[in-house]
């Protein structure tokens, strides 16, 4: 992967706001329901939009096509005067039959699958879901497209836990198991800058100060 010289390209990585499933710690992937933001989630999206409008120039807004991300991106796009571009590669992982279950329910009902998923990025969750290796491939492709299209700019990326953790993991050069050691709260903002020499720097992580 190569980057143009000059100003870094910065991706502001925002997780979508809460849905009804978020506080219950239920799997909510791309293969099941497509929940809307809850009232709390809508308030979180508005609070994040106010912060983003104060940060300085944001040149583009890119969102997962799933409803909870589009609804999170809309207030920020309005305040920034930008359109939202949808990127299918930034959708959440497909969790197969785990979708809608709590983490505890998955551990109880599918203990062998759960253990395998935690141990290997090639494991397929929920029988018909998407491995983390597959998520990584499409997220890498989406990242490279963004960097090529927005060289030297700042881009707001509204997505989900698995894709955002993956972007941060790749920037750090961390192993796949690090994905399970990151906390990304609803409507949190992280930031990664990509430089002309090919290096990347994680500048913020899981910032929720705008929600207080």
| Residue whose token pair is 């090919």 | 198
Which strand (E) or helix (H) includes residue 189? strand 189-194
pLDDT in the model for residue 134: 98
Categorize the per-residue pLDDT at 207 as very low, low, confident or very high, splitting at 50, 70 and 90. Answer: very high
Which sequence positions are flagged as catalytic? Answer: 16, 92
Per residue in 87-120, pLDDT (tens digit) is: 999 999 999 999 999 999 999 999 999 999 999 9
Residues 6+ apart with CB under 8 A from 119: none
Per residue in 48-88, pLDDT (tens digit) is: 999 999 988 999 999 999 999 999 999 999 999 999 999 99
- Domain residue spans of the chain: 16-152
| CATH code for the part of the protein at 16-152 | 3.40.50.1240
pLDDT in the model for residue 3: 44
What's the start-to-end Cα distance of the chain, in Å? Answer: 38
- What CA–CA distances, in Å, run from 193 to 8, 16, 65, 85? 6, 21, 24, 20
């Amino acid at each position: 992967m190569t980057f143009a010289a000059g100003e870094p390209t910065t991706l502001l990585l925002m997780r979508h706001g809460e849905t009804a499933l978020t506080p219950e710690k239920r799997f909510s992937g791309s293969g099941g329901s497509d929940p809307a933001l809850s009232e709390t989630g809508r308030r979180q999206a508005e609070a994040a939009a106010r912060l983003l409008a104060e940060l300085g120039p944001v040149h583009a807004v890119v969102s997962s096509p799933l409803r909870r991300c589009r609804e999170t991106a809309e207030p920020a796009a309005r305040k920034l005067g930008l359109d939202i571009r949808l990127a299918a590669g930034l959708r959440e992982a497909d969790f197969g039959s785990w979708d809608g279950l709590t983490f505890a329910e998955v551990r109880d009902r599918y203990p062998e699958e759960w253990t395998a998923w935690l141990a290997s990025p090639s494991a397929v969750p929920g029988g018909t879901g998407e491995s983390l290796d597959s998520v990584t491939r499409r997220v890498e492709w989406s990242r490279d497209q963004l960097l090529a299209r927005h060289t030297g700019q700042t881009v707001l990326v509204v997505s989900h836990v698995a894709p955002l953790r993956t972007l941060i993991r790749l920037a750090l050069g961390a192993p796949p198991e690090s994905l399970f050691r990151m906390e990304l709260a609803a409507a949190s903002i992280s930031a990664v800058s990509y430089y002309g020499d090919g290096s990347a720097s994680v500048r913020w992580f899981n910032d929720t100060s705008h929600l207080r």
